[in-house]
Amino acid sequence: MRKINYWVVVVIFVLASFLIVRIETANSGVSYSARLDKFPVKIGSWRGEDIKVEDHVLDILGTKDVIIRRYKDKSGDTLILTVVYSDNNRDSFHPPEYCYIGGGAKLISKTKEAIPLEGGGNFITNKLVMKHSGGVIKAWYWYSAGDTFTDSYYLQQADFVWKAIKGRGLDGALIRVSIDRGGADMERKTKDFIREAIPFLKKTL
């Protein structure tokens, strides 16, 4: 029995070492894929304007494929779309509430929100409501893992581990849409924007 246990431990150790090497190899370097260049500035009635991303932020994220874009509709309402993409670094993605809280915001609630799709079914996102010195921030976010969207950080990371075992690339993204003012009508507009943006995100990521 002791011999069997010994060899089980050895096998687990070898597999774990192999997996770590795979992941570390895939994580090395900085992404320069520039897929996001093709993401449209115009989505429905919304027009976007890029917000400059500072170099030190890109260094922290470990990827240059980052969009932070302010979209405005004809009535003057605004929202911010953030997309962080990498094809080789799973550390580029983490739940955005950590950044908000680190910046001094207080998390009021985190829930799941289902956004009905035109073709039927629901698109599931995470919804954050946070309070900061300037008021209230609401944010909807989700992840991509390859060509699949998920609201779960852990499912995205599990997909990366599986790809690492198979020696494939670790492409994925964090997508977030946020607003800092407005009531139910602005929430409705934001969810309409997300619904319209999804097909473009699928083509781009």
- Domain-wise residue ranges, the chain: 2-204
Note the pTM of the prediction, 2 decimals. 0.80
9 CB-contact burial (10 Å; exposed 0-12 / middle 13-18 / buried 19+): exposed
Greater model confidence, 16 or 48: 48
Gap between the Cα atoms of 8 and 20, Å rounded: 18
Q: What is the pLDDT of residues 100-135, one digit of tens each?
A: 998 899 999 999 999 999 888 999 999 999 999 889
What does the pLDDT read at residue 169?
Answer: 67
- 199: CB partners within 8 A, 6+ apart: none
Compute the distance between CA of residue 167 and CA of residue 145 in angstroms, rounded to an integer. 15
Instruction: Give per-residue pLDDT as tens, 20-40.
Output: 434 443 443 433 454 788 899
DSSP secondary structure of 142-159: EEEETTEEES-HHHHHHH
Listed range (33-42, 134-143, 146-155, 161-170) with the worst mean pLDDT: 161-170
Q: How far apart are CA 81 and CA 163, in angstroms?
A: 28
